[in-house]
Homo-oligomer: A and B are copies of this chain.
Amino acid sequence: MNFEEMKRNSLELIEKSKAVYLTTIDLNGRPMTRAMLNLRNLEQFPEYKNFFKKQQNKFSIYFSTNTSSSKVKHIKKNPAICVYFCDPEDFHGLMLAGDGELLYDKDLREALWLEGGEKYYPEGIDDPDYTVLRLVPDYGRYYYHLGKLDFELGEKK
Q: Which A residues fall within an 8 A CB radius of B?
A: 18-19, 21, 23-25, 29-35, 80-84, 86, 88-89, 91, 93, 95, 97, 119-120, 141, 143, 146
Give 12 A-B contacts (CB < 8 Å), ordered by A residue.
Answer: A18-B88, A18-B89, A19-B88, A21-B21, A21-B86, A23-B31, A30-B97, A31-B97, A32-B95, A33-B84, A35-B91, A120-B146
B31 close to A24 (CB less than 8 A): yes
B93 close to A119 (CB less than 8 A): no
Q: How far is the CA of A45 from the CA of B119 in the complex (A)?
A: 39
Measured between beta carbons, the chain B residues less than 8 angstroms from A80 are: 29-31
Contact residues of A: prevailing secondary structure: strand
